[in-house]
Chains A and B, each alone.
Chain A
Amino acid sequence: MGTPALIMLLICGIGFAGAGIVISLILAKSSKNAQKGEPYECGVETSGTSWIQFNVGYYLFALIFLIFDVELVFMYPWAIAVKQIGIVALVEIVIFMFILFLGLLYAWKKGALEWK
């Protein structure tokens, strides 16, 4: 099986979720009630909007993640070629890791790794 198998899986996923939801729509009884649409929080009406602003700490984690995720993608081709290249690959990855590690240490020192 080649790429068509992936398309098949995509269709399977959409079809399965869709079929489940549609069957339940047909089978389940529904009743209209204004209260049902309220957010499920504590029984009292919600105060203010629920779409509150994001925490900045979260944003910093996302930024650091981005750097390390790109690093991961770079490491896949390296990982396959390691055995052919030999000791040079080791030296290179040590340098690469060292620079990244400095970045992590910098973020650590700056307090970017604390959840505020």
Chain B
Amino acid sequence: MKSVILYSLSGFSTYIHNLLSSNIGNNLILLITELTIIGITLLISLVLLCFFLGWMERRVAAFMELRLGPNRVGPQGTLQIVADTVKLLFKEGLTPSKSDKFLFNLAPFIVVVAAMMAIAPLAFAKNFSIFDINIGVLYVSSVSSLSVLGVLMAGWSSYNKYSLLGAMRSGAQIVSYELSVGLSLIAIVVLSGNTSLGEIINSQQNGWWIFKGHIPAIIAFVIFIIASTAEINRAPFDLAEADQELTGGFNTEYSGMKFAMFLLAEYINLFVVSAMGATLFLGGWMPFHIGNWESFNQIMDYIPSFVWFMGKTFLIIFIIMWFRWTFPRLRVDQLLKLEWKYLLPISMINIILITLIAIMGWHF
């Protein structure tokens, strides 16, 4: 394939790096300056992302239910979520008098930190990630599973029966569905023979794994979507915060900014999960190519890699939001039955099929 043109953000980041390193001699100061720039950029873009996701959530819900949704504040209601954030900022953050105050205040931090740490290995564009760890897949699955600690902590420390029940359900749920997520991630690790996200994307240059891996890869993708919807506590698996039965579940007692932190972490987790799905199964920033249709492939190459990545991620986010308005909430025993009696055996057998495909070289 000749003259592959992918506009990349990496050129921009290299430019900044060169500019800084020519002006700052000391390596330590250089490192700290760069990290500060990355940190501030990341925080600003995460806040914008959460604003956008909050707006999208409501508009998608309204669209599914033939309503209008927020459309008064700002163009198409885009500033509604900003107004809500300002409102939350001015709300008093209550701490129940009988609660375990240290754990109660610690829980939002753990949830946010766990969500943020998982962003590190994601490749947002060609050669553009914060830290492409060589154990990327393992890292993301281990760090993002830390958030269950925050949820359990929040539920336990609130001194509220609803919170405790919600947290217990959430614990059983996240812990169970993590197995299916892990097994479907391993399916792609088997196919590509690598756990670094950058290398996995490179292995999809001639086709995404969902196409190359035949039916087992599609099964793995479907299991991944179902199980990760459960892992981030979204409807139809939102038993942990089932509004109608548990008032608010583990975050019943939270108010003001502490509550906002749980919301923020939920959106970041939604993004991370969708980005992982897009990276592993749909080729990350790789453009869509069809065999030897040279001119078609050339046109696809002109679309920037960042747009490809975001497009795929938001496609998965939209599907997960779609679930919410399509399926009724599961009961807790149905939820565990689905995981332990259906998804887990299926994904175990699926791993063996994937291994067969990988060894025999049946993928193309």
Contacts and interface: CB of A to CB of B under 8 A. Distances in A.
Contacts of B92: 28-31
A28 B256 CA distance: 9
Contacts of A101: 345, 348
A113 B341 contact: yes
Interface string B312-330: 0000000000000000000
Interface stretch (B53-61, B65-73, B107-115): B107-115
Given A39-B253, A97-B351, A115-B332, A21 B93 contact: yes
B112 A16 contact: yes
A44 interface: no
B190 A28 contact: no
Given A5-B35, A16-B43, A113-B336, A46 B186 contact: no
B17 to A, nearest CB: 10
Interface in A5-27: 5-6, 8-14, 16-18, 20-21, 23-25, 27
Nearest to A2: B131
Nearest to B117: A9
B117 A13 contact: yes
Contacts of B332: 115
A54 B348 CA distance: 30
Interface string A74-102: 01100110111011011001100100110
Given A6-B120, A89-B359, A38 B352 contact: no
B50 to A, nearest CB: 11
Given A40-B252, A97-B352, A1 B38 contact: yes
A14 B110 CA distance: 8
Contacts of A21: 93, 105, 108, 257-258, 261
A89 B247 CA distance: 50
Contact of B160 (A27, A40, A80, A113): A40
Given A21-B261, A27-B89, A104 B190 contact: no
A70 to B, nearest CB: 11
Interface residues of B, number: 79
A65 B359 CA distance: 29
A65 B332 CA distance: 17
A104 B247 CA distance: 35
Nearest to B100: A51
Given A61-B175, A114-B333, A82 B345 contact: no
A98 to B, nearest CB: 10
B41 to A, nearest CB: 10
B8 to A, nearest CB: 17
A2 B34 CA distance: 12
B348 to A, nearest CB: 5
Contacts of B356: 90
Interface in B251-290: 252-253, 256-258, 260-261
A52 B352 CA distance: 43
Contacts of B348: 97, 100-101
Contacts of B93: 21, 24-25, 28
A51 to B, nearest CB: 7
A93 B252 CA distance: 45
Contact of A1 (B96, B130, B158, B359): B130
9 contacts: A5-B35, A20-B260, A50-B160, A51-B156, A51-B164, A52-B164, A61-B176, A89-B355, A97-B348
User: Would you list the 5 A-B pairs with minimal beta carbon distance, nearest first?
Assistant: A37-B97, A13-B113, A24-B257, A115-B333, A13-B116
Interface of A: 1-6, 8-14, 16-18, 20-21, 23-25, 27-31, 34, 36-41, 46, 50-52, 54-55, 58, 61-62, 64-65, 68-69, 72, 75-76, 79-80, 82-84, 86-87, 89-90, 93-94, 97, 100-101, 104, 108, 113-115
